[in-house]
Amino acid sequence: MTPILVRALRREIVERTPVWFMRQAGRCLAEYRALRERYGILEIARTSELSARVTEMPISRLGVDAAVLYADIMLPLDGMGVPFRIESELGPIVEAPVRDAGAVDALRIVPAEEATPYLFETIRELRRRLDPSVALIGFCGAPFTLASYLIEGRPSRDYARTKAMLLAAPELWSRLMTTLVEVLGRYLRAQIDAGVDAVQVFDSWAGALGTEDYARAVLPHTRRLFAEVGERVPRIHFATGNPGLLPLIASVECEAVSVDWRVPLDEAWRAIGDRAIQGNLEPAVCLAPWDVVAARADDVLRRANGRPGHVFNLGHGVLPATDAGTLARLAQHVREASITVAA
C-alpha cells in the first residue's frame, strides 16, 4: 500500500488532501512534555526506542497521514567531530564554531551509519511498527542552514559571520558547503535505505539572504544535494522567509516545494511551476478561535483548488502553545473538506 502522502507528492490523483504538521512530534503534546521532564532533546533523539515512541505520538493523537522522524537537524555533526548541545530556550550551540580553513579541513566525512547509527535503528523500528498507510518522513537541514549554525555558533538574528564568509571568503565558503553536501547526501540516502517514504530538506534560514547571494553561493550546493539524493523517494524542498527566492528554489530538481505563509498558496504554486506543493497555513493561526482556523484552512484548500499534488501543512513548525485538540480538529477538517474540493 503506497501512502496517500507519497502519491500526492508524486502528483497522482488522490481521494483527499493528505495532512501532516511540521514539528508535530513533540512541542504541543502533553505526553511528549511529560517525557521531556525526564530526558533531554538529544537524549531522546539518540535513543531509538524513545525517538520512535515520540515519532508515533501524533499519528493517533492528531490523525495525520505521516510520521516525521523525531530528530534534529544538528545530528549529522555527531559524525563530523563537532561538539554541540541544545539549550531549550535558545537552540543549538556549537562549542567551537567553524570560522577558518583549519576548522573546515578538520570536519570529518564518515559513513552515515557510523555517524548516527541510532537514527537508522529508529527508522527500522518505525518501519516495523507503523501502519503501511502512514508515510514516514526523514529529513535534514540544508547546507546553508547547517553552515550558519556551524559558523555563528548559535541562533542569530543577522547571520553576520555567515554572510562575511560567504562574501569575503568564497573559496572557504565553497569548501565548507561541499563538505556539508557530501555529509548530508550520505545521511539522506542512508535514511532512504533504512526505509523512509519521503525526505524533506529544511533551509530554515535561507530567507536571510537576498536573491543574488542565494543564487551565487547557496543554490548550486542545494541543487547538488538533491541530485545526490536521487529520485527513489519524493524529495521536499522547504525554505522560508523570502518569497522572492521561490523562482530560484523552483529550479532545484525535486518532487515538491514546501512554502511558508508569506505568500498565498496559489501564487506560490504558479512560482514553483509543475511540481507538488506543501503548505501553508500560518502556525499562529492555530492559536486563534476555531472559526478562524477553519476559515483560513478553507482558504488554503480553495487556493489549491483540488489540483493534484497538494499536501496540507503549516507554513512552518507547530508553535509550543498550540492546543493539540485544535490540530486534531484541523486534520479532520482538511480530510473532510478536501473530499468535497477534490470532487
Mean pLDDT of the chain: 96
Q: In 3D, which of 259, 261, 309, 311 has the Cα closest to residue 286?
A: 261
pLDDT single digits (tens) 260-297: 999 999 999 999 999 999 999 999 999 999 999 999 99
Please tell me the predicted confidence (pLDDT) of residue 283: 98
* 299 lies in some domain: no
Question: What does the pLDDT read at residue 336?
Answer: 96
Q: Is pLDDT at 93 greater than 70 in this prediction?
A: yes
In DSSP notation, 86-143 reads: EETTTEEEESS---SHHHHHT-----HHHH-HHHHHHHHHHHHHS-TTSEEEEEEE-H
Asked if the structure places residue 79 within a domain, the reply is yes
pLDDT of residue 343: 41
- Given a cut of 90, whether residue 56 has pLDDT beyond it is yes
Is 222 inside a domain boundary? yes
Summarize the confidence of residues 191-210 as an average pLDDT.
96
Helix (H, G, I), strand (E, B) or coil at 48: helix
32 inside domain:
no
pLDDT of residue 339: 83
Q: Return the exposure string of 231-265: e unless at least 16 CB atoms fall within 10 Å of the residue's CB, then b.
A: eebbbbbbbbbbbebbebbbebebbbbbbbbbbeb
Q: For the range 128-131, what are the long-range contacts, defined as Cβ-Cβ under 8 Å and sequence gap of 24 or more? A: 129/52, 129/56, 130/56, 130/59, 130/67, 131/59
Count of the separate structural domains present in the chain: 1
Which range, of 87-101, 140-154, 219-233, averages the lowest pLDDT? 87-101
In this prediction, residue 340 has a pLDDT band, given cuts at 50, 70 and 90, of low
Listed residue (163, 141, 161, 164) closest to 151, CA to CA? 161
Contact criterion met (CB below 8 Å) for 278 and 236: yes
Assigned domain for 99 exists? yes
CATH, residue 136: 3.20.20.210
High-pLDDT (> 90) share of the chain, %: 93
- Residue range 162-168: mean pLDDT, rounded: 97
Domain ranges, residue 177? 40-277
Q: Which helix (H) or strand (E) holds 294?
A: helix 290-304
The pLDDT confidence band at residue 321, using thresholds 50, 70 and 90, is: very high
Taking the model in full, what pTM does it have? Answer: 0.96
With beta carbons less than 8 A apart as the criterion, state whether 261 and 183 touch: no
Q: Using 50, 70 and 90 to split pLDDT, how confident is the model at 259?
A: very high
- State the residue for C-alpha cell 571568503: 169
- For 123, the grid coordinates are 527508522
pLDDT per residue over 174-191, tens digit each?
A: 999 999 999 999 999 999
Q: CB–CB of 190/223 below 8 Å?
A: no
Supply the pLDDT for residue 342: 43
Residue 321 lies inside a defined structural domain of this protein: no
Per the domain annotation, does 303 fall within a domain?
A: no
Q: What is the pLDDT of residue 341?
A: 47
Task: Render pLDDT for 234-251 as a digit per residue (tens, 0 to 9).
Answer: 999 999 988 899 999 999
Among 165-169, 214-218, 242-246, the least confident range: 242-246
Q: Is the peptide bond before 280 cis (omega within 30 degrees of 0)?
A: yes
Query: 53-89: b or e for each residue (b if 16 or more CB lie within 10 Å)?
Result: bbbbbbbebbbbbbbbbbbbbbbbbbbbebebeeeee
Q: CA-CA-CA-CA torsion for 98, 102, 105, 107, nearest 10 degrees?
A: -40
